[in-house]
Structure 1
Amino acid sequence: MPDTILVINAGSSSIKFQLFEIADGAGELTLSLKGQIEGIGSHPSLIARNKQGEIVTHRIFAVADLPDARAALGQLASWLRAWHDGAFPVAIGHRVVHGGPDYDTHVAVDDDVLAKLEVLVPLAPLHQPNNLLPIRAIRATQPGVLQVACFDTAFHRGHPDVADRYAIPEQLYLEGIRRYGFHGLSYEYITRSLPIVASEVAGGRIVVAHLGSGASMCAIRDGRSLDSTMGFTALDGLPMGTRPGQLDAGVILHLITHKGMTADAVQHLLYHDCGLKGLSGISNDVRDLLASDDPRAKLALDYFVYRAGLALGSLTAAIEGLDAIVFTAGIGENSPVIRARICRQARWLGIDLDKTANAATDAAGARLISSPASRVRVYVIPTDEERMIAHHTLEIFRRQRR
């Protein structure tokens, strides 16, 4: 049986996983299994598919059996061992949202690394605690297995100073208050895919729009991230499902000094009650808003598209022109309406969509959706953060075996 690498992408109510086989000799990665435990603490279920996409298990659990992420992780570990004849992966890669100032590349986890990542929990309270929980749990039960932390911030760490800094005193910058950028694993995957699926623009000036419940955009030139809409935390930039995006810091001061809100209350507001949910008062899901006749739903979508258009113009300026736009992630890959509206707002850049290609529902994989007349090429490219994590985990595993 070939060696395997397990990838875990843990959230507050779900644990996504993929299992990759390492081909003998060549070190190539082949997807063997993918799935997730979702609805943790409410309607927990486990679903997994094999490399052919066939469902190999679909189990529904009582809430009492999977009340939290730790219990879900234990259930996942038991099922994976049974499915893989008791064999344990040779390495496990984890998505970790924030690497802070200490990590500009992906690293093997030890006590020192884990302690530094714990300090960053307040900067990513929705993600970091859940990212670190499986690492701690596996270290407690399988201390000898290699675990690798793969950071969403790493891809952006080569930003020029003007994109990396805020206009604050130098000492605060040295303490780590800077613009990190996020969704880096997704952007790195897209960048590595371009020479294969869109070689004509791979080395050019590209804006990638990672649009999902968490949303950001990234300016890439010659395969490098030069700027991103997100900053010190994943609150900045575009409006998201429940996060506000760009917000005057004076609003925070007002909430604390005049509304009497505590820091914890402000944090909860910004991470849970703003964005599309706050604007619409209906839902944080674009699909729900598109289906609604409520004028507040229309406002939320109008705002999302407007801000995406502004960000596109700003990022185009950062890379001094635009050769291509790539849409990816949940909304970017699956909402032709939102793609069309963003591109319509950017017609001044010479963008012209092929309406049939954009609306195609039976298309799979990467595809070009701009017309031959468009001065800027527009693509939809599915992202695969888990494969990127597996790649980096394999690199570190092979280095340690030398």
Structure 2
Amino acid sequence: FRLDEPPLRTRIASVMAGREFVRATLLDERTLGALRRLEPLAPIHQAINLELVDLASRLLPGTMQVGCFDTAFHAAQPEHARLYGLPHEMAEQGIVSYGFHGLSYSHIASELNNRYGAAAGGRTIVAHLGSGASLCAMKAGVSHATTMGFSTLDGLVMSTRCGAIDPGILLHLLQDRKLSSDELAELLYQRSGLLGVSGISGNMQTLLASKDPAAMRAVDLFIYRVGREIGSLAAAIGGLDTLVFTAGIGEHAPAIRQSICEAAGWLGVALDKELNAHGEEMVSAPDSLVDVLVIPADEERAVAAELLGFEGKD
């Protein structure tokens, strides 16, 4: 393209949009100011995304930029799925569960709609298992509950992030161990999860290849937490018709898929080991009461779909 051509549309995929932005949004001074105020909730991702916006503004002055948000997919959740047991005025101030990986879940919902029609797999749990990991419970392609909440630290054990943790531990670390807030943030985001538990690596492939018992300890914890959360989300949506694996671990670690499906066997999940080993899309056994699928993540496609919808509103 030439810089003297009509203004182009660029986009960012922002992990955190708070409660204000629930669809593709024009990035102007007001919206960018609001997004910068949300940086503390997603310190790994948000600042980088906003730096890219600033860079694009300098390189392509006058270009329209549009933000697509990872939290937006979960905006339709019922209020009780978003509240914490804190004074209600804090919820009104924005301390609620937002959920993340929404662009990935949006893509999966679209793929399920293509496969099943408007029912989109019925009562579905999607396991987005990568360096960052979460689960989402959907009904007919609409988010009803998810494991990440106010921040990207919540829920499952991840590569270097701790996942759900007793708040009393945080108080202990601050009050008794005298960690600073920066030290605590570094511990929870960078030195915990699979890396912290194993002391070896936060990479699942490395851990699966290791014979060190510490590596298996971390893998077992990961599988246990995913299996436990599947049970919780199945309760939230009243059962399970479809289980989908996506993202790096979900797509490329058959052994992890098998162990998770075994943990969810009580829900009627049964895996075909041969189909699973060969990475087919449908990997459930013929007698499984639950369809088990492996669908590659494609957040870029979800962003493109949002931008097309945004353009249609102009």
TM-score over 0.5 (shorter chain)? yes
The 5 Å alignment of 1:90-129 reads 90-129=8-47
Partner SS state of residue 221, structure 2: helix
Q: CA deviation at 1:161?
A: 1.4
Quote the Cα distance in structure 2 between the aligned partners of 1:258 and 1:117: 34
TM-score (norm 2): 0.96
Partner SS state of residue 138, structure 2: strand
| Change beyond 3 A, Cα 1:183–1:237 | same
Structure 1 counterpart of 2:251: 333
Q: CA deviation at 1:88?
A: 8.7
Quote the Cα distance in structure 1 between the aligned partners of 2:211 and 2:260: 20
Structure 2 counterpart of 1:395: 309
1:218 pairs with one of 136, 142, 162 = 136
Structure 2 counterpart of 1:238: 156
The 5 Å alignment of 1:310-349 reads 310-349=228-267
Structure 2 counterpart of 1:357: 275
When the two chains are superposed, the root-mean-square deviation of aligned CA atoms in Å is 1.7
* Counterpart residue type for residue 330 of structure 1: G
Partner SS state of residue 112, structure 1: helix
Q: CA deviation at 1:87?
A: 7.4
Higher relative contact order (CA 8 A, sep 6+): 2
| Aligned 8 A contact 1:201 1:323 in 2 | no
Structure 2 counterpart of 1:71: none
2:296 pairs with one of 359, 373, 382 = 382
Which blocks of at least 5 consecutive residues in structure 2 are unaligned? none
- 1:370 matched to 2:284? The reply is yes
Select the structure that is richer in strand.
Answer: 1
Quote the Cα distance in structure 2 between the aligned partners of 1:294 and 1:88: 59
Structure 2 counterpart of 1:57: none
Q: CA deviation at 1:346?
A: 1.1
| Change beyond 3 A, Cα 1:200–1:375 | farther
* Counterpart residue type for residue 384 of structure 1: D
Quote the Cα distance in structure 1 between the aligned partners of 2:32 and 2:310: 17
2:218 pairs with one of 300, 306, 314 = 300
Structure 2 counterpart of 1:60: none
Structure 1 counterpart of 2:92: 174
Structure 1 counterpart of 2:227: 309
Q: CA deviation at 1:198?
A: 4.3
TM-score (norm 1): 0.75
Which blocks of at least 5 consecutive residues in structure 1 are unaligned? 1-80
| Change beyond 3 A, Cα 1:341–1:87 | farther
The share of aligned pairs that are identical, in percent, is 46
| Change beyond 3 A, Cα 1:99–1:85 | closer
Quote the Cα distance in structure 1 between the aligned partners of 2:134 and 2:239: 19
| Aligned 8 A contact 1:146 1:397 in 2 | no
* Counterpart residue type for residue 387 of structure 1: R
